[in-house]
Amino acid sequence: MHTIKLLVDCRNDLGEGPIWDAREQRVYWVDSTSAEIWSCRADGSDVRTWYVPNYVGSMALRERGGAVLALASGFALYDFDTQEVTSVADPFGPGSEYRFNDGKVDRAGRFFAGSMGYDFDPLDVTVARRPARDGSLYRLDPDLTMHEIDTGFVCANAPCWSPDDRTFYCGDSEHNVIWAYDYDIAAGAVSNKREFLSDRRFSRAVDGATVDSEGYLWNAKVLGGRIIRHAPDGSIDRSIEVPVRNVTSITFGGPNLDVLYFTSMGRPMRGIPPRQAGAGGLFAIHGLGVTGIPEPRFAG
**Domain locations in the chain as residue ranges:** 3-286
In 3-state terms, what secondary structure has residue 127?
helix
Number of H helices, E strands in the chain: 0, 24
- Does residue 102 carry a catalytic annotation? no
In 3-state terms, what secondary structure has residue 91?
coil
Rounded distance between C-alpha atoms, residue 33 and residue 199, angstroms = 26
Q: Is 2.40.50.140 the CATH classification of the domain at 3-286?
A: no
Mode of pairing for the β-strands spanning 259-264 and 236-241: unpaired
Rounded distance between C-alpha atoms, residue 121 and residue 149, angstroms = 24
The tens-digit pLDDT sequence of the chain (300 residues) is 899 999 999 999 999 999 999 999 999 999 999 999 999 999 999 999 999 999 999 999 999 999 999 999 999 999 999 999 999 999 988 878 889 999 999 999 999 999 987 655 444 433 434 444 678 999 999 999 999 999 999 899 999 999 999 999 999 988 899 999 999 999 999 999 999 999 765 557 899 999 999 999 999 999 899 999 999 999 999 999 999 999 999 999 999 999 999 999 997 655 555 568 899 999 999 999 999 999 999 999
Catalytic residue among 31, 150, 207, 212: 207
